[in-house]
Amino acid sequence: MTAVLTLVATPIGNVDDLPPRAIEVMRRAQWLYAEDTRHTGRLLARLGIEKKLRSCHDHNERQRAEEIVAHLRRGEEVALVSDAGMPGVADPGYRVVRAAIEAGFAVSMVPGPSSILMALVLSGFPTDRFVFEGWMARRQGRLRAQIESWVDEERTIVVLESNHRLLKSLPLLAELLPQRPMAVCRELTKLHEEIRRGSAAQLLDHYREHRPKGEIVLVIAPGLA
């Protein structure tokens, strides 16, 4: 068998969204690396897959990339799984992919759920041109600078935010982008999925009364050209 690294997308909430081919790849792989072995271990147990897991997260990805390339050199098949969604997009995977490519090995993927794309589409904002900005900055000064950089942005903006910090970022968004429609996309594919649209000020009023819970993707409509 030709050695190959396969990235495996996993559900962002609803386990029924797991692609059938993902199960096949995880069963077959000789080595399975996961962002959180406990989280993926529960998924494998539910699927009836017995597999020893090795971690691959933000703090050890460079080291694991070297290990994975060593496995590929021995002709072994490797699968890389993130906690939820697409490996390499706001999750570990980029360094592993680069290392495998530079070593001359094939890299493939089992595509699947992505909270970023799901939120983008459900926001109702233009999808033909968009930019993913990763996580909202934590420090107030950097957060202000980040939002200021979006003032003239003509593409739809997709960004991740913590439910604990949303009430700190919304006031700055209301100050700097007062006219821009936004959508808070929360708990996607889960029981309490919510897409709430409005200005930053309107969203702030709502979430001051109803504290946000769960994982959040914030989508900001583009500015006028």
- Token look-up 């386990």 returns 15
The CATH 3.40.1010.10 portion of the chain extends over 4-110
Give the torsion sign (CA, 5, 110, 22, 64). positive
How far apart, in Å, do the first and last CA atoms of the chain sit?
Answer: 52
Q: CA geometry: angle at 91 spanning 105 and 24, to 5°?
A: 55
Q: Which structure tokens are listed for 156?
A: 């739809």
Q: Is 85 left (phi over 0), alpha (psi -120 to 50) or beta?
A: left
Residue 225 is predicted with a pLDDT of 47
Dist. CA 180–CA 197, nearest whole Å: 11
Dist. CA 132–CA 127, nearest whole Å: 12
Superfamily of domain 115-220: Tetrapyrrole methylase, C-terminal domain (3.30.950.10)
Topology of the domain comprising 4-110: Cobalt-precorrin-4 Transmethylase; domain 1 (3.40.1010)
Residue 39 is predicted with a pLDDT of 93
Residue 204 is predicted with a pLDDT of 98
- Write down the pTM of the prediction: 0.91
Strand order in the sheet with 194-198: 130-135, 156-161, 216-220, 182-186, 194-198
Dist. CA 103–CA 78, nearest whole Å: 14
Closest CA to 22 of 39, 4, 44, 52: 44
Number of other residues whose CB lies within 10 A of the CB of residue 196: 15
Contacts 24+ apart (CB under 8 A), 99-103: 99/65, 99/66, 99/68, 99/69, 100/5, 100/65, 100/68, 100/69, 100/72, 103/69, 103/72, 103/73
- pLDDT per residue of the chain (225 residues) written in tens, 0 to 9: 468 999 999 999 999 999 999 999 999 999 999 999 999 999 999 999 999 999 999 999 999 999 999 999 999 999 999 889 999 998 999 999 999 999 999 999 999 999 999 999 999 999 999 999 999 999 999 999 999 999 999 999 999 999 999 999 999 999 999 999 999 999 999 999 999 999 999 999 999 999 999 999 999 999 874
The CATH 3.30.950.10 portion of the chain extends over 115-220
Dist. CA 109–CA 8, nearest whole Å: 6
